[in-house]
Every structure is written in structure tokens, then in C-alpha cells.
Amino acid sequence: MKFLHLLHQRDALLRQARLANLAYAYQRLGDFAHRITRARLHGPVQLSLTDTDHDRLWPSLTAQEGNQSVIEEHFTDEDLVELADLVTFLRDDAHTTEFNFRLEEFTARFVEPVRAELARAGVVLNFASPAPSPEDSSRGPL
């Protein structure tokens, strides 16, 4: 491939990369939504992203009501890092580092906006909603 050809295709490549990242976000956020629904998790939570200005070196998901142990039972540290990365990619305000939401509204808050953006871009979804990943189904009931 020639250098000038790459330069001419730069905008299209950037658009395709964003769409690929949106598709990945849609799938993974759908996996999280499926786990939340399957485990019947509900109630208000706060997702705190990494914020070195406030000495927060690791993302967290904190139950605002109920037992924190239930959250910790269903989401590993690695899950929270991935969720935080996805939300960071999708967020509109680069300064927002905390998100308050109800777990039962996870799909409406995070999955549906991504689906809508993919649809506006002309991406055809081959399924009605994100399917559970093999990792989720191998964990058994939560």
C-alpha cells in the first residue's frame, strides 16, 4: 500500500475504527447488561473511573443502597476496568469521572445509545440484542 493512498483514506479508516470500537462496546456492554438482568441486580450504584487527580488509581462500582458484596460477587476487578474503559470511550464530557445510575437502567443508559449510534451509521445488527459471551455462560448462574 502506498503512503499517499493511506493519507487519502485516513478519514474513512478513522470512521471504520470508531465503528469497530462502537460494535465492540455494544457487544461487551450488552454482556454486562445480560449479567445484571440474569442476576436480578438492581438499585443505585456509582461507577467511578480512574482519576489520578483524586488518588483513585482503580475504577470502582459502589452500591449506593444494599450490599456492596453483591456487586463484588458479580463483577471482578478486570470487569470493572473493562466497563470503565468502555464508558470512558463513550462519555461525552472528558471531565466526568463518576456516573450514578440504577442497575436496572443499565441497558437504557449505556447499551441503547450505542445501538442507536450504530444504526445511524448504517450498521446492520445481526441480532436483536447483544448475546451473552462464552465467558458469561461458562460462569454458570450468578
Judge whether 4 lies within some domain: no
Question: pTM of whole model > 0.75?
Answer: yes
Residue 137 has a pLDDT of 41
Judge whether 8 lies within some domain: no
Judge whether 9 lies within some domain: no
Judge whether 11 lies within some domain: no
Judge whether residue 130 has pLDDT over 80: no
Judge whether residue 105 has pLDDT over 80: yes
Judge whether 15 lies within some domain: no
Judge whether residue 104 has pLDDT over 70: yes
Higher-scoring residue by pLDDT: 141, 95: 95
Residue 54 has a pLDDT of 81
Q: How confident is the model at residue 64 (pLDDT cuts 50, 70, 90)?
A: very high
- Per-residue HEC secondary structure of the chain comes to CCHHHHHHHHHHHHHHHHHHHHHHHHHHHHHHHHHHHHCCCCCEEEEECCEHHHCECCCEEEECCCCHHHHHHHCCHHHHHHHHHHHHHHCCCCCCCEEEEEHHHHHHHHHHHHHHHHHHCCCCCCCCCCCCCHHHHHCCCC
Residue 25 has a pLDDT of 97
Task: Write down the mean pLDDT value for the chain.
Answer: 88
Judge whether 128 lies within some domain: yes
Domain count, the chain: 1
Mean pLDDT of 46-56: 88
Print the domain residue range for 100.
22-138
Judge whether 13 lies within some domain: no
Judge whether 14 lies within some domain: no
Judge whether residue 141 has pLDDT over 80: no
